[in-house]
Amino acid sequence: MDEEAGILLARSGVLTQIYSIPPATLEEVSRVSFMVAIVDSFGNVQRILIGRTTLESNPLTLPLIESLNNMRDLGGSGMLLNENNRAIYHSDKAQLLTAYTGQSGNEPFFYDDTASDGTRLLRYYQPVLGRPWAIVLTVPAQRAQQLALNIAMPLALMIILLAVVALISLRFGLRVVTGSLRSLAAEANRIAQGNLDNPLQIAGEDEVAQLRRAFEQMRIGLQARLDEINRLLRVSQGVASSPEMEDAVEPVLDAILSTGANSVRVVLSPSILPDTFIELPSRFTVGASQDAYAHLDDQILDLAQSHEKIVLPNLTRSRELILDSSKPQPLALLAVALRHENRYYGVVWAGYEQPRKFSDSDVRFVTTLAGQAALAVANAHLYLNVEASRRQLEAIINSTPGPVIVTGPPQPPLDCQPRRDHRARSGHGRRQRQGNREGGQTQTAAGTAAKRHLRKAICRDHALG
């Protein structure tokens, strides 16, 4: 019937047609009929070529037939439906040309169905592109579940095995990590107790090694800060122990020299030195190259008066100083002005043999030492002024036979009159000079207190008798 209808269509102008026809015998499978109309030069159909083949012998459909037959291995079935929803091929030949009563559509989909014996079935419907045919695959749900279980069981065993291996590896790995962390905790406790002399052992590039490296940097930093504090303490003690300028600035010079400088110098401004008949030193230096860089003192002294800090990491690239190529030059320089109570006393500067990148801690440390040096110079300056005034007053008292009145703005007049003869006064003057020298060794930095003490001592000595 389909071929007869196809012949009529071919005469009407449908040149190519494909139809499915029943098998010739019950043992055979369905056949496919191909119709091609042959036309003349005018386009009229003169002949119709009909070709028939079975699905099992057609090389184009042979892979499809094999796939449908493989469904029997899963306990299911596969069928090929024509445009009338009849099975033109079925993996169970007994159901050939039976009508398909399940769900259909234009898109592939899965759905659940129930077999005649009540068992649950899983069906897959796949339309054929370009033809009104479709493929339907059926498998029992129990078989699908068993197949899924068979696939999942080896995977589950493999996952469990991998989990056990991972757990063992993690345990050993954590043991190494926890051991490193315990040793690091011991090192941290040692640092917390103040023991900063033992360096940490660093090996590897993992996170624990990075943590160890951070702790080692912290230990080095703490040790450097403690060393700075100890040096500052020694400097403070040195500044407070002596009013002499050379003895007071020597601890400052030594502390700056410990930063790696090969020459440290303190240059005082000429304006702070008192006018005395004794030539007072205005420059103090320590280091391997003590006086090699002395030619830079005046330039640095003038420059520091307008700059609080002078930091030159590479002196060869600097334009702040005029360098004489015939004289030795430092390659790096750090200078800090000596100021106390808004008064400029001079500058302390350090020269280095090699270019040096000064960190903030280096500049801060030298600035703190410069503050101590400024305090020492200020104290020594007051002491020199008081000592010069004391010597002048002593000379006046020793050379004047009459009464001497010492006055000052903050204090009332002091009437100091000698009541003994000239010999007694001369002996008293010697005792006074000796007492004043001993008192001068214990004077503090406070100039007004030293002057007050001097006036009281003079009046007390002259009041004896």
pLDDT digits (tens, 9 = 90+) for 393-440: 777 778 777 676 766 555 544 444 444 444 433 444 443 433 333 333
Domain check: are 332 and 358 in the same one? Answer: yes
Is 276 part of a structural domain of the chain? yes
Q: What is the pLDDT of residues 301-327, one digit of tens each?
A: 999 988 889 999 998 888 888 888 888
What is the bridge-based pairing of β-strands 309-312 and 414-416? unpaired
If you average pLDDT over residues 149-153, what whole number do you get? 89
Contact 334, 312 (CB under 8 A): yes
Q: Are residues 13 and 93 in the same domain?
A: no
What pLDDT is stored for residue 289 in this prediction? 80
My answer on whether 63 and 44 are in the same domain is: no
| Domain finish residue from 178, 193, 210 | 178
Is 205 among the domain residues? no
Q: How far is CA 368 from CA 286, 323, 382, in A?
A: 19, 28, 21
Q: Is the pLDDT of residue 268 over 50?
A: yes
Q: Do 287 and 412 fall within a single domain?
A: no
* Distance (Å, whole) CA 31 – CA 237: 117
Query: How far is the C-alpha of 22 from the C-alpha of 35, rounded, in Å?
Result: 16
For residue 280, the model assigns a pLDDT of 65
- Residues 153 and 166 both lie in one domain: yes
* 19 found inside a domain: yes
Strand partners, 79: 90, 136
Q: Quick one: 330 and 270 in the same domain? A: yes
Q: By C-alpha distance, which of 452, 446, 445 is closest to 390?
A: 452
> 4 and 97: one domain?
no
d(CA 181, CA 163): 25
pLDDT, tens digit, 9 for 90 and up, residues 112-124: 988 888 888 899 9
Alpha helix locations (H) across 346-421? 360-399
- CATH code, domain with 108: 3.30.450.20
- What HEC string does 124-150 produce? EEEECCCCCCEEEEEEEHHHHHHHHHH
Give the CATH number for residue 368. Answer: 3.30.450.40
Same domain, 361 and 274: yes
In angstroms, the CA 348 to CA 375 distance is 13
Domain boundary among 146, 178, 210: 178
Establish if 92 belongs to a structural domain. Answer: yes
Domain-embedded: residue 187: no
Beta-strand relationship, 31-39 and 45-54: antiparallel
Residue 207, domain member (yes or no): no
Rounded-to-integer distance, Cα 114 and Cα 392, Å: 130
Same-domain check for residues 371 and 261: yes
Identify the helix (H) or strand (E) that includes residue 465. none
- Claim to verify: residue 109 and residue 35 sit in the same structural domain: no
Alpha-carbon distance values, 289 to 330, 353, 389 (Å): 10, 9, 37
Q: How far apart are CA 23 and CA 159, in angstroms?
A: 52
The answer to whether residue 230 is domain-embedded is no
Where does residue 35 fall: left (phi above 0), alpha (psi -120 to 50 degrees), or beta otherwise?
beta
Structure tokens at 288: 């391997």
Cα–Cα distance measured from residue 336 to residue 307, given in angstroms and rounded to the nearest whole number: 8
> End of a domain among 310, 343, 378?
378
Structural domain containing residue 405: 400-463
Q: 287 by DSSP, 3-state: which? A: coil
Helix H or strand E encompassing 328:
none
Q: Token pair of 41, please? A: 């030069």
Verify that 255 and 290 share a domain, yes or no.
yes
Total tally of structural domains belonging to the chain? 4
Clarify whether residues 417 and 357 are in a common domain. no
Q: What is the pLDDT of residues 49-77, one digit of tens each?
A: 888 888 777 787 888 888 888 888 888 89
In terms of phi and psi (left: phi > 0; alpha: psi -120 to 50; beta: otherwise), the region of 284 is: beta
Residue 385 belongs to some domain of the structure: no
pLDDT value, residue 334: 92
